[in-house]
């Protein structure tokens, strides 16, 4: 009888611990969503960013670093990153590849860059991916680490918040194929990379509707799309024939 009672007690403790762990994980997820909420707001937002890329094997060795800026207004957005600029309104997204002198036209995806980055949080919440979240102090910041138990395209997500709960940096450990379709298959060294994004400055007060006007880049006329100055010598490519 005593052995049976001990076994029941151990099982009860395990159930309590599991429930407590699940509650803690849920609390961490709520904190992350609260920190990311400012970047998912449908109002106006202007964010200055720095992207850094490194290999999983040598995370401190930065392979590339890019500065950029993104402006969001509902489903419309504008961003500039290195020699690439993009503007998206309700009907078309125009990407300007300055090195290639190309205007690339496509249909809006419905998500801007920041929404794409944080959309995984919803996938974690509804159980589509098995994961575990841990939290630690990183100087004056709080660091959240999400580990995928069965990684396919993502191994880890990392989030840093300041002492006011504001998101200041993220880092994803992802499969190189998300960045390059010709990347090596699983099992080949170097196919996982870190993509780090630092949020340098957030501004809501410099709103200008003209920033989201695609017609300053290209206009649709009777004979098709025509590039506007100063891009009038650029080639125009339609990714969607129906445009």
Q: For the segment 114-126, what is each residue's pLDDT rounded down to a tens digit?
A: 666 676 676 665 5
Q: What is the pLDDT of residue 230?
A: 94
Domain architecture of the chain: domains with CATH = 11-75+110-212 (2.50.20)
How confident is residue 6, by pLDDT bands cut at 50, 70 and 90? very low
| CA distances (Å), origin 106, targets 70, 201, 219, 231 | 18, 29, 14, 17
Interatomic CA distance for residues 61 and 57, integer angstroms: 9
pTM here? 0.77
């Amino acid at each position: 009888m005593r052995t049976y009672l001990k076994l029941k007690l151990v099982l009860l403790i395990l159930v309590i611990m599991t429930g407590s762990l699940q509650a803690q994980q849920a609390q961490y997820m709520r904190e992350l969503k609260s920190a990311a909420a400012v970047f998912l707001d449908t109002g106006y937002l202007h964010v200055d960013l720095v992207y850094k890329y490194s290999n999983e094997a040598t995370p401190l060795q930065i392979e590339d670093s890019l500065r950029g800026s993104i402006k969001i207004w509902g489903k419309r957005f504008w961003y500039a990153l290195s020699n690439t600029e993009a503007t998206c309104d309700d009907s078309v997204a125009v990407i300007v590849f300055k090195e290639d002198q190309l205007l690339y036209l496509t249909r809006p995806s419905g998500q801007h860059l920041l929404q794409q980055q944080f959309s995984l949080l919803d996938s974690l919440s509804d159980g589509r991916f098995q994961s575990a979240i841990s939290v630690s102090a990183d100087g004056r910041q709080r660091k959240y680490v999400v580990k995928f138990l069965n990684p396919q395209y993502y191994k880890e997500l990392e989030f840093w918040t300041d002492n006011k709960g504001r998101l200041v940096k993220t880092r994803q450990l992802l499969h190189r194929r998300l960045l390059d379709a010709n990347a090596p298959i699983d099992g080949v060294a170097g196919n996982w990379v870190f993509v780090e994004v630092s949020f340098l400055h957030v501004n809501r007060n410099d709103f200008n509707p003209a920033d989201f006007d695609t017609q300053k880049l290209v206009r649709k006329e009777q004979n098709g799309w025509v590039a506007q100055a100063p891009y009038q010598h650029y080639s125009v490519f339609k990714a969607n024939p129906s445009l």
